[in-house]
Amino acid sequence: MIATMTGPVEISAWKPAPFALEGETVFAVGDVHGCAVEFHALLDSIAELAKPLGGRRRLIYLGDMINRGPDSVGVLELWAQGEEARGVDHIDRLMGNHEIMMMLAVIGGPHAHKAEAMWLSKRMGGQKLLDEMAARAGHAAAHADQALLKEALGEAIVHRLQAMRSHVRLGNTLFVHGGLDPHANPDEFLARPWLIFTEARWAWINHGFLDWKQGFGGTLVVHGHTPPDKHKAISGMDDPHLFEGDRLGLDGGSARTGIVTAAEIQDGRYRILKAGTPFENPEPSGE
């Protein structure tokens, strides 16, 4: 357990796993969904853990920073900060399906209407972020557009949003929001642009990925997207934060459970970091 200025963070014991990260230490953060207080505590603990480390230290955000929770704008402000603020050598910001919905709604195009309807639905929780941005901008907003994004979030955050990546490969490990389709060519699968909405399945997949038992051709997959209750229903795993089936899931349920989850991963081992206090009656999960 680390007691930070922003709250306690529970840290598991180290567990063995065949990660080969070319000597780097990776801190991978799962779905945050607007839980800024918990996210801040997690980042403070990561900075403490990174401080004494030798070698290269990398921070990877696995996507779904926004929607549902009370302070998505606060989360984005923390998420957009640079390496020096986080005590690491490099930061990768990956795109989740919630960022895809928002960005498609904002930029327009053939999927904009459907993406906006899905994003603003109660299940996906984007209305909370739209309301936050409108409050920041000082005027009502029925829709999000690029002008509102810049007005409410500022150019630096918008630049980070526009530069999000689909995935990161490091050694034998793939970091991605949703997962892999074991029946698809992985390079082609991961190259699908987010502009094709739900067909960019690296951000949306769970069935066909979490219930696959035969590995991914030597690739280990670290992902978010599927919260614990839904993960268990698909994979049968009581604890989704165990390395099993060449996968490690880091979606703690965040806005629905009270827990934001991350992992510290080194060559041959990993441990889990959890920030927040579990809700007594967590809501049923979406994605």
Domain residue extents for the chain: 10-98+165-275
pLDDT at 94 over 70: yes
Which of the two residues, 279 and 174, has the higher pLDDT score?
174
- Residue 21: which of 270, 250, 271 has the closest Cα? 270
CA torsion sign for 99, 45, 89, 26 is: negative
Mean pLDDT throughout 141-163? Answer: 94
Residue 214 DSSP code: S
Q: What is the pLDDT of residue 234?
A: 97
Per residue in 257-285, pLDDT tens? 999 999 999 999 999 999 999 887 666 66
Residues 42, 135: Cα–Cα separation, whole Å: 27
Per residue in 12-57, pLDDT tens? 999 999 999 999 999 999 999 999 999 999 999 999 999 999 899 9
Domain 10-98+165-275 matching CATH 3.60.21.10: the answer reads yes
Q: What is the pLDDT of residue 282?
A: 63
Residues 228, 282: Cα–Cα separation, whole Å: 11
- Residue 62: which of 240, 233, 203, 208 has the closest Cα? 203
Region at 63 (left for phi over 0; alpha for psi -120 to 50; beta for the rest): left
Residues 21, 145: Cα–Cα separation, whole Å: 39
The separation between CA 39 and the C-alpha centre of its own chain, rounded to angstroms, equals 11
Supply the angle between the helices 146-153 and 126-137 in degrees, to the nearest 10.
70
Q: What is the pLDDT of residue 286?
A: 63
Residues 103, 9: Cα–Cα separation, whole Å: 31
Q: What is the pLDDT of residue 170?
A: 98
Per residue in 233-247, pLDDT tens? 999 999 999 999 999
What DSSP letter does each residue of 129-159 carry, written as one string?
HHHHHHHHHTS--SS--HHHHHHHH-HHHHH
Q: Average pLDDT of the chain?
A: 95
Residue 39's CB is within 10 A of a number of other CB atoms, namely 27
Residues 10, 282: Cα–Cα separation, whole Å: 19
Cross-strand bridge partners of residue 249: 223
